[in-house]
Amino acid sequence: MQTQTLRDGAESFTVSVHEAKKASRVVLFAVGAGGQPERHATLLDALAESGYTVVAPHFDRLASPVPSEANLTLRARRLSLALDVFVQPGATVVGVGHSIGASTLVALAGAQMWLGPGRRVKIAPDSRIIRLALLAPPTGFFKAPGALDAVRVPILAWVGSGDDITPPAQTEWLVQAMRDWQAVDVRVTAGAGHFSFMDLPPPQTTEPLPDKQAFLREYSSEVCRFVGR
């Protein structure tokens, strides 16, 4: 993948891009709190090798475990700005995201994101997104009445049973909240943690899986299949 610099008003940001040689489905990758897409190298390489155009904006690391409204709106805006540059008019996009990146994609797919009572995060939906693959998604942002009603795209959600940051119960809640109009394909990997989805997790974290490389290859392969449906 190559990197390019884009403008966001008076500021700039970096985007990692793999442009497919032929017209193909576009994957918008939304990274988690760490902000660096290359820490998911196995997944991004698998998507690129499958012939998809991959667009992966970089972000500053979130200093707090609870993102601010400014953090969330900046990330959502830059995800859409990257699509404006690298996606042809009329093209459709599959959103793939980890942790807070996954939640941001749900908001771009039409959900209302809330930080608390009376604290709705104003994120403009992006109609180009037609599918979502969510890795260890935090779902507490969407617990206001009707917050998920406008999300009408196929969803693959994957979580580890050992995730103590976004435990499986959060994904189970998402399934129940959308059960009347949208089936969510849920995968739970026994023993996996929140950072098991990353090639390069944060420092001082301990990997719970005995064969992490096998898991990285497994979930990356399944995400590629989901993108191509």
Q: Which residue ranges form the domains of the chain, and what is each CATH number?
A: 2-228 (3.40.50.1820)
pLDDT of residue 193: 97
53, 112, 59: which is closest to 85 by C-alpha? 53
Residue 88: pLDDT over 80: yes
Average pLDDT of 146-151? 96
Residues contacting 86, CB < 8 A, separation 6+: 15, 17, 19, 26, 53, 55
DSSP 61-93: PPSSSS--HHHHHHHHHHHHHHHHHHS-TT--E
Q: Is the pLDDT of residue 23 over 70?
A: no
Confidence of residue 19 (pLDDT cuts 50, 70, 90): confident
Q: Could you tell me if 26 and 79 are in contact, meaning their C-beta atoms sit under 8 angstroms apart?
A: no
pLDDT score for 106? 98
Q: What is the mean pLDDT of residues 161-184?
A: 95
pLDDT digits (tens, 9 = 90+) for 90-116: 888 999 999 999 999 999 999 999 999
Q: What mean pLDDT comes out for the span 134-155?
A: 97
Q: How confident is the model at residue 132 (pLDDT cuts 50, 70, 90)?
A: very high
| pTM (predicted TM-score) | 0.96
Q: According to the model, what pLDDT value does residue 1 have?
A: 84
* DSSP three-state, residue 58: coil
Report the chain's mean pLDDT, rounded to a whole number. 95
Residues 183-209 pLDDT 10s:
899 999 999 999 999 999 999 899 999
- For the cut 70, the answer to whether the pLDDT of residue 46 exceeds it is yes
Q: What is the pLDDT of residue 11?
A: 96
CA distance 107 to 103: 6
Identify which has the larger pLDDT, 23 or 15. Answer: 15
CA distance 41 to 37: 7
Measuring CA to CA, which residue among 151, 150, 146, 103 is closest to residue 131? 151
Mapping DSSP to helix (H, G, I), strand (E, B) and coil, where does residue 114 land?
strand
User: What is the token pair recorded at 128?
Assistant: 């180009």
pLDDT (mean) for 120-126: 97
At residue 176, the 3 state secondary structure works out as helix
